[in-house]
Amino acid sequence: MDSLRMSMESLLAEMEGLWKKPLSMEEKTYAPRADVAVWQKAKNRVHNAIPKVKEFIHRSVWAMGSPERKRLESVYADHIQPRIPFLHVDEILKLLEDLRKDRQVLASLGKNVYQECKGICSELQSAVRSLHDNAAKGRRKKDAESKRHFR
């Protein structure tokens, strides 16, 4: 759960960086409308995905400090690790099973959100790369034309 949360935090930072990056004047000038539309669509998807990522991060942090987990930690430290028998084993097993199911649901949710955000990030990176390439081509074409006029 911790590794998924940390991956999600780095993905969130990457998405927010790409989302907030403005286009340069050259990118705006030489960008085909289709590329700008793809870039805008990807930015809108980021805007909608960020709350999902933040919610997962919040829930995964909360899960590490939940009362059920803390109770099971104390049972582990007091009875299981030193191999001291205790009463109410059935109650603890039920609590452990419920905690496992909750974590499975949370991990599944996290994996789905992570995959969605990776796709959005790839789409956004591709759109930015395309806009940047078009700006470079436009700049080279403009430079070539200006050299022809000066000859």
Each residue's pLDDT tens digit, 8-23: 999 999 999 988 888 8
Compute the average pLDDT of residues 123-137. 90
Each residue's pLDDT tens digit, 19-54: 888 888 888 888 888 888 998 999 999 989 999 999
Residues 6+ apart with CB under 8 A from 138: 26, 29, 30
pLDDT score at 126? 92
pLDDT score at 76? 81
pLDDT score at 41? 92
pLDDT score at 23? 85
Q: Is the pTM of this model over 0.85?
A: no
pLDDT band at 151 (very low <50, low <70, confident <90, very high): low
